[in-house]
Structure 1
Amino acid sequence: MSIEAPILLSDNWFIGEDKTLRFTVVDSAGAVQVISGWALEWVLRNNPGSSAELLTKTTAGSGIAITNGAGGICEVTIEDGDTLGIGPGDFFHTLRRTGDGNEVVLSFGQAILQVAATR
């Protein structure tokens, strides 16, 4: 089941900082999914219809860790250098399961990236 999970101003995500985003994956009944061994991808885009990816993290490459497979929890790690080439703004993010026959959106929403006086 897809869960809307916006990254808002109150989440304090700034350009040039390390940030960890935690997601809990649930099924259509709201029960926690066991995600052990799943291939996951997190993408940041300008808007939902944009084909250009500003930032991508995966379990296969780097950036996503399944920290509690039985509890349905994964963490997306954004390193300070990942956002230096992206200006502040209102973007859109999606976490999805990947793999043949298993592609499904797990979480999505607005993502506000802010700028501070230092980077």
Structure 2
Amino acid sequence: MNFNLFGNSQPDEDYSDIAEEILEELLRQVRQSYNVALTVIGTSAILAFVGVGLVYANKVQEGAVTTAAGGVTTVAATRFANQKKKELQQMMELVEKRRAKEELRKMIPRPQAMPPVKPR
């Protein structure tokens, strides 16, 4: 970042590096949340199967509670994972739009400033 002490402002000062870092961090967080949700889904599905196994082992009360807990957790985690998946897709679209905008900006040449005209 350039600091200007003499009041000459720079047109179109670009903060795209900062915005890109922010987008990358948000993208990383959304990915991790999605991975956690998938892990919870797998764990809760195993819990539900254990509950079914307990029911077959004539431990009906424990099996019913375990199956219900696993099922509820699976449904909640699936909703959470779907929400994070949508957020991830939105973030990826935003990153792609930003990259396309940067590429377009690189392709279009900036006009050079005209030197001041001296009076005769």
| Shared fold (TM-score, shorter chain, > 0.5) | no
Q: Which range, TM-score by smaller chain?
A: under 0.3
Higher helix share: 2
Q: Larger C-alpha radius of gyration, 1 or 2?
A: 2
TM-score normalised by L of structure 1: 0.18
The two structures have a TM-score, normalised by structure 2, of 0.18
